[in-house]
Amino acid sequence: MKKISVLFVCLGNICRSPAAEAIFISLIEKKGLTDDFIVDSAGTGSWHIGKKADSRMRVAAERRDINILSRARQITNNDFDEFNYIIAMDDSNFRNIQNLKNRTASAGFASIKKIQDFRTVFNELEVPDPYFGGDEGFDYVLDILEDSVNGFLESIS
């Protein structure tokens, strides 16, 4: 069976998308589906390449037994060929991903979606960026992502 590949994308790849990646990994581990997926995250910007996720996000996630282990990277043209799904955290990143895909010679097969299209509990149309806010913003983002990431997984499995 061919693996399903999923790339979560936000602006800098240090808050929202690595959290979504870690939540997704946690969910597929609990369901015994780890071998069925390739999961990664990236940012549309390049500011944090190689860095760990924001420490405030890692601490908030660890309180929920979710380990964010990824290092920041920037989305590349190759990602459109390597991933089945590219999942944006907000409208701005969705547009940036679409624009990059439109400029790519090989447009690939990736289906570009917004994570909040899979929400079941929260009304937010975008996942807010908690970077410049207080610690409670990281918990709120995790609440939102646990809901929508689970909804995404249910939609594809």
Q: Tokens for 52?
A: 């760990």
Would you call 129 a catalytic residue per the annotation? yes
Give the separation between CA 138 and CA 85, rounded to whole angstroms: 24
Give the separation between CA 84 and CA 112, rounded to whole angstroms: 9
Determine the 3-state secondary structure of 81 from DSSP.
Answer: helix
15, 16, 58, 139: which one is catalytic?
Answer: 16
* Rg, C-alpha atoms of the chain: 14
Give the separation between CA 134 and CA 132, rounded to whole angstroms: 7
Would you call 15 a catalytic residue per the annotation? no
Give the separation between CA 77 and CA 73, rounded to whole angstroms: 13
40, 79, 90, 129: which one is catalytic?
Answer: 129
Of residues 74, 48, 49, 59, the one with CA closest to residue 19: 59
Q: Could you tell me how many residues make up the chain?
A: 157
10, 58, 119, 139: which one is catalytic?
Answer: 10
Angle at 154 between CA 151 and CA 157, to 5 degrees: 150
Would you call 16 a catalytic residue per the annotation? yes
Catalytic residue numbers, as ranges: 10, 16, 129
